[in-house]
Structure 1
Amino acid sequence: MTGSLVSRSSRDEKTSSGAPVTTTQDESKLESNEVALPEIDPSEEKKLLAKVDLFLTPVIMLVYLCCFLDRSNIGNVKVAGMPEDIGASSQQFSTAVSIFYATYVTFETPWALALKKFTPRFVITGLCIVWSLATIFSGFIVNVGGLYAVRLILGACEAGLFPSLNLYLTMVYRREEQAKRVSYLFVSTAIAGAFGGILAYGILFMDGIGGYAGWRWVFIIEGLFSVVCAIVVWFGLPNDMTKAYFLNSRERYLMTVRAEQNKAYSGSEDFDWNEVKIAAKDTKTYISGGIQFCQDILLYGFSTFLPSILTSMGHTGIEAQYLSVPVYIFGGICFVIFAFISDRLTIRGPFIFLSNIFGIVGYILLLATSNNAVKFFATFMCAVSVYNGPGLNVTWLNVSFAPHYRRATAIGLQQTMGNTAGVVAGQIYRDDPYILGHSFSLGSLAVAQGLIVLNLFYLKYCDRVKAKIKSGEIEDKRKIRTGDRDLDFKYHI
């Protein structure tokens, strides 16, 4: 189960890129293990993955962009007069930001476990429709109670999206292919921040049209955009890549081969409570959850309150919307670069540690200087760790668990622990000049660095124990010997 997860017995059989188109009978033989698994020609597989990326990436990025846009637009409307219009105090508005995560963290694990049973298309499309309606209705709220209600509904629905998309990627791609694909999700977060600022900047000029304030139009238009996204997901996201509408017969066959090769990683299709219990008791789950909590402090604090941070530097609300755009784009580009190298080297933890150094420098500058130009530069430094930290840590967890339901549980629990940071972020970024928020974020990075080092040592320890058992140096006393506990499963550091 190391590296590419290709069965060792399959290495003796090879199929050239010019192999004939297979029949359904051939595929059924593969699935029943009646024939040895062929090894796919690397150049042909590269073309296959490029085609899969071409069709899947826009759909996945679009739906996550909409999700994060609908979640974080509360930061854009804050500087556009929403709190004053609905009579919300600074404390009440912070509570509205935080209350979203009450339902968000509650429903993440259940949605992750439900993905296979109800299929990705039904789960993701259904969630998208409901949160779209919640966003649209946000444009018609008149008091704080209404704001609380829509935020709770939004949290319950959006809770299922990231675990579902993340699991979907593990069902399509191998371990060494995943960081780059997970980066698409976090790049979508960066684009949502940038696009949200541009969109809000334009929509706010609609102030007064139809008798509605500009901030109301932000919710209405962005909610309608998400409805369109739900339609795209329904028609564009295949439940089974071996039957994907955009692949020809040969390509479907190759996806069937990949699926069989990847079974050691993906595991059984059948739900097993024992796998849930294994993940819930695994030390890796909680170390990863701790890292994710620290990194999400940055992600939610920065992405939600960046417009407010920029206004604290003396910029107007409108200026803050468009000045946030290059910051988000820079953070997204850095993540793509880090993720690409991480996949090539199959190294995870050291890249998270490195990216956090940029964030530490950024938050120190935000706290230590009064020069607004330097502070603006500091936001770019922060953006590097804001996206790389949580994104690469999710990938690190993905490739550290097998089979499917063990991984699904670990992802759900990690995200539940991590996303409680959203509650904290809403409380620490209250008042200009946001000293508490920046200080708390800096402290979170320091704790994250310690946990990253701890996880590195723990995974190396687990690999050393496996190696000693395999060589006969120590007795095999393992109670669990399947999935990631298999002796051939090597952890990525």
Structure 2
Amino acid sequence: MKAEHISWRLSQLNLITENLLKMSTAPRLDAESQATRQRAYASKGAVLVSEGNSSTDSILQDVTPQEEKKILRKIDWRVTIVLGVLWCITLIDRSNLGNASIAGMTKDLKLDVGMRQSLVGLIDFPFWMVFQTTLPLAIKYLKPRLIISLTGVLFGLFTLGQGLVHSWHGLLGYRMALGTVQAWQYPTIAYFITIWYTRYEVQKRFSVAYFIAEMSSGFSGILAYGLMQMKGLAGMNGWRWINIIEGIFTVLASVIAHIILVGMPDGDGRHEWRFLSSRERRFVLARIDADRADAKLEEITMKNCARMLSDIKLWGFAAVLYLSAVTSTGFLYFLPLIIHGMGFSVGVSQLLNAPPFLIAGLWCCLTGWLSDRWRLRSPFLVLNALLCLGGVPLLGFTAPFGARYTGICLVCMGSKANTPAAMAYMSNNLRTHTKKLASVSVLIVGVCLGGVTGALVFRQQDAPTYHPGLYASMVASFLLCVLVGAMTAKFRRDNRRAERGQLVIEGHEAFRYTY
């Protein structure tokens, strides 16, 4: 018994000793875990410029992972969700051309004559390209929050005006006006998301915002079908009510968005930070600096932006988005007409337009989450292009409706998911606000040229098969795979040179490309 008692006493002493050791080492272990979190911002290509900065180190260590998630949720609701909803509403206005066409606009405005339908579909892109060059100057003098909400109001007013025109020339004028508004709104939304998050958080956010936006493509047909039932009210056809009601709703939503949306991360105004405490604000700025060293907005000038345009990879990113837009834009405008050409009524065509875009939105979110988790970009771009290559033959060269509809879903999944993927690909491989603004402008050039190409190759006179547009989509998807492969090879080679100390990437020794 005595031996057992001594053994029990020794075990108790060991237990007390272990607890004291744990208590004494807990702060050190916690500091080590915080340091590990800080180094995580710099892993696989991120820039840890604040390493050794005691102020930034203490801020990053002061916030627990649970608190960090809470802060990100606040930002998500006030940035990603708000921008996604507004993007969705304005995209409904922009993409209602196909729905309005089968609701009577083609007949009333005689759009089936020559190339009128295609011209109306593409005329906004040249104006988009020209006026987006003024965006850096606009950002310098106007806050992004004001630009986003103001352009939303104008978007709604011009859409409402489309419902009041009595000739195709009037419609053409309003489409030009929409192009000038798009030139500021969509690039500002993309830029705004990139500056609030670290590099390996952006594709999830792009994908969520894009998923919300793509719900417009899916449900715009259902909405249009409901608004068509107002035909005869006030003596107007159904397509007019589609434009009028959607325009009014966009104006109201833009005013609400202006109230909810936050400002810049480095802003000092009351509205910028009233949703975060001062401690949370310091943490947000510290984590952005630890990731890429551009939390503070440097002076933006047209001269600096012009200098940034000499970087060849900016044009490579634009080419990726151009090739993706050839397919996505053509389908956005002409899918209701393609489905209608399969022999379905107007109402059924509007309803069948929804599921492919809903599936595409879910695919965007899944691939965005996986891409950020695995910190990969180019494999997903290629995968989405391959989905398009597989879906186009099913759509254009098979007879059963099930096979053709499956092809539509695959093409929508691939082409739509590549938009946020290409934006994240660009964002991850650039530094500084000036360069990101310049790159967004270049990306929009790619989108616009892709939209023009898509509208030209999907021609009204090729209905109901639209074979020229389908051939062009297949070629664009193949070229996208080749281009992404070439850019990936270059990025890998440059990263190896940077590891050997032979190259400084993006002006910082710790920066590495993501591919």
Confirm or deny a common fold (TM above 0.5).
yes
Partner of 1:97: 121
1:80 is paired with a residue of what secondary structure? Answer: helix
1:82 corresponds, among 105, 109, 128, to 105
CA distance in 1, matches of 2:205, 2:52: 26
Are 2:305 and 2:435, in contact at CA under 8 Å, matched by a contact in 1? yes
CA distance in 2, matches of 1:382, 1:112: 34
2:111 is paired with a residue of what secondary structure? Answer: coil
Are 2:457 and 2:468, in contact at CA under 8 Å, matched by a contact in 1? yes
1:42 corresponds, among 43, 49, 65, to 65
Are 2:81 and 2:209, in contact at CA under 8 Å, matched by a contact in 1? no
**What displacement does 1:439 show?**
1.2
| Pair 399,389 (structure 1): closer, same or farther in 2 beyond 3 Å | same
Aligned ranges 1:391-410 → 2 under 5 Å: 391-410=420-439
The answer to whether the aligner puts 1:146 opposite 2:170 as a matched pair is yes
CA distance in 1, matches of 2:338, 2:484: 28
Aligned length: 463
1:202 corresponds, among 205, 210, 226, to 226
CA distance in 2, matches of 1:418, 1:100: 12
Partner of 1:58: 81
Partner of 2:483: 451
Are 2:429 and 2:513, in contact at CA under 8 Å, matched by a contact in 1? yes
Partner of 2:51: 9
Cα deviation code 1:286-326 (max 9, x no counterpart) = 11111111100111111111111111211112111111111
**What displacement does 1:114 show?**
2.5
**What displacement does 1:42 show?**
2.3
Partner of 2:27: none
Are 1:5 and 1:261, in contact at CA under 8 Å, matched by a contact in 2? yes
The answer to whether the aligner puts 1:385 opposite 2:414 as a matched pair is yes
Tell me which amino acid in the other structure corresponds to 2:331: F
CA distance in 1, matches of 2:77, 2:302: 36
Are 1:170 and 1:266, in contact at CA under 8 Å, matched by a contact in 2? no
Name whichever of 108-117 and 305-314 sits farther off. 108-117
TM superposition score normalised by structure 2: 0.85
CA distance in 2, matches of 1:370, 1:403: 51
CA distance in 2, matches of 1:274, 1:137: 37
1:168 is paired with a residue of what secondary structure? Answer: helix
Are 2:199 and 2:291, in contact at CA under 8 Å, matched by a contact in 1? no
Are 2:126 and 2:448, in contact at CA under 8 Å, matched by a contact in 1? no
**What displacement does 1:81 show?**
1.3
Name whichever of 335-344 and 79-88 sits farther off. 79-88
Cα deviation code 1:96-125 (max 9, x no counterpart) = 001011111212232255224311121111
Percent of residue pairs bearing the same amino acid type:
25
The answer to whether the aligner puts 1:159 opposite 2:183 as a matched pair is yes
Tell me which amino acid in the other structure corresponds to 2:80: T
Name whichever of 348-357 and 42-51 sits farther off. 42-51
CA distance in 2, matches of 1:219, 1:278: 41
1:320 corresponds, among 346, 349, 354, to 349
CA distance in 2, matches of 1:286, 1:193: 28
1:375 corresponds, among 392, 404, 414, to 404
2:492 is paired with a residue of what secondary structure? Answer: helix
CA distance in 2, matches of 1:153, 1:219: 15
Partner of 1:71: 94
The answer to whether the aligner puts 1:441 opposite 2:473 as a matched pair is yes
**What displacement does 1:219 show?**
0.3
2:133 corresponds, among 84, 91, 109, to 109
The answer to whether the aligner puts 1:284 opposite 2:284 as a matched pair is no
For structure 2, the residue ranges without an aligned partner over 5 or more in a row are 1-41, 267-271
1:344 is paired with a residue of what secondary structure? Answer: helix
Aligned ranges 1:267-282 → 2 under 5 Å: 268-273=297-302, 275-282=304-311
1:420 is paired with a residue of what secondary structure? Answer: helix
Cα deviation code 1:342-396 (max 9, x no counterpart) = 0111110111101221111100112221222210111111111121112201110
The answer to whether the aligner puts 1:361 opposite 2:390 as a matched pair is yes
Are 2:59 and 2:283, in contact at CA under 8 Å, matched by a contact in 1? no
Are 1:109 and 1:411, in contact at CA under 8 Å, matched by a contact in 2? no
**What displacement does 1:272 show?**
4.2
Aligned ranges 1:106-255 → 2 under 5 Å: 106-241=130-265, 243-255=272-284
Partner of 1:340: 369
Partner of 1:467: 499
Are 1:81 and 1:215, in contact at CA under 8 Å, matched by a contact in 2? yes
